């Protein structure tokens, strides 16, 4: 079998596991900047790709230390744009729809990696340190049944993106992001031998 030998040019997944059929192009006034840790880029269950495929206004960069990243710094230096970092660090404030009202564009930066990697990215990327930090309401729970989460509140990147966009723009429907995510998980579960999922991956 050479199942993994051919990949979809759009989503980068194997043709068999292609997620493009579930992707819907969504308009969003709030732009996402997704900073992906290199170790995350190769994961078969990486969910950031759902965001970049669904949101044509989004930006995507890979790396760990973004301090001297030209393209990112160019975005950060654009006039009349307010940037936030979705990172639950000290002084973070809960995301609100009011943050989008008023003049100028809003961009939210997501750090895509495990908690440890995201912390490292945050620490190293000094150009992010002056930006206000956002967090999601604490009662949110992840739907991500495959990846082991260090805590109940750990969300996949696509879920974090879905929540932040939905909270800031309640008039828009971003549920196609979650639909694509759930279909991707279901596909993975269907590939597992019977019982493996229940035994190893159940998140209670
Ligand atoms: Zn595809």
Taking only the tens place, the pLDDT of each residue in 46-73 is: 789 999 999 999 999 999 999 999 999 9
| Single pTM value for the model | 0.86
Q: Bridge partners of 110?
A: 34, 86
- Contact 76/83 with Cβ under 8 angstroms? yes
82-113: per-residue pLDDT in tens?
A: 999 999 888 999 999 888 887 889 999 999 99
- The number of residues in the chain equals 204
Cα of 17 from ligand 1 centre, angstroms: 8
Q: What is the pLDDT of residue 108?
A: 98
Cα of 54 from ligand 1 centre, angstroms: 12
Cα of 4 from ligand 1 centre, angstroms: 13
Residues, Cβ < 5 Å to ion ligand 1:
8, 10-11, 18, 20
> What's CA 48's distance to the chain center, in Å?
4
How far is 5 from 27, CA to CA, in rounded Å? 34
Give domain limits for the chain: 28-136+151-189
Cα of 164 from ligand 1 centre, angstroms: 25
SS3 content of the chain, % helix, strand, coil (to 5): 40, 15, 45
| Phi and psi torsions of 47, nearest 5° | -105, -10
Task: Assess whether pLDDT exceeds 90 at residue 177.
Answer: yes
Q: What is the pLDDT of residue 81?
A: 96
Regarding the domain delimited by 28-136+151-189, which CATH topology (the fold level of the hierarchy) does it fall under? Alpha/beta knot (3.40.1280)
Cα of 8 from ligand 1 centre, angstroms: 5
């Amino acid at each position: 079998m050479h199942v993994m030998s051919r990949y979809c040019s759009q989503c980068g997944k194997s043709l068999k596991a292609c997620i493009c059929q579930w992707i819907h192009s969504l308009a969003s006034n709030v732009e996402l900047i997704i900073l992906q840790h290199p170790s995350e880029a190769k994961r078969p269950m990486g969910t950031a790709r759902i965001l970049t495929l669904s949101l044509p206004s989004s930006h995507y960069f890979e790396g760990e230390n973004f301090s001297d990243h030209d393209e990112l710094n160019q975005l950060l230096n654009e006039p009349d744009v307010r940037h936030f970092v979705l990172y639950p660090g000290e002084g973070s404030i809960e995301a609100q729809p009011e943050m989008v009202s008023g003049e100028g564009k809003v961009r939210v930066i997501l750090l895509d990696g495990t908690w440890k990697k995201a912390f490292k990215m945050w620490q190293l990327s000094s150009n992010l340190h002056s930006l206000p930090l956002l967090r999601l309401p604490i009662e949110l729970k992840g739907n991500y049944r495959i990846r082991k989460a260090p805590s109940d509140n750990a969300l996949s990147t696509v879920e974090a993106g879905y929540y932040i966009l939905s909270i800031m723009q309640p008039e828009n429907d971003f549920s196609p992001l979650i639909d694509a995510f759930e279909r991707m998980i279901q596909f993975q579960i269907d590939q597992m031998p019977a019982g493996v999922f229940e035994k190893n991956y159940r998140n209670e």
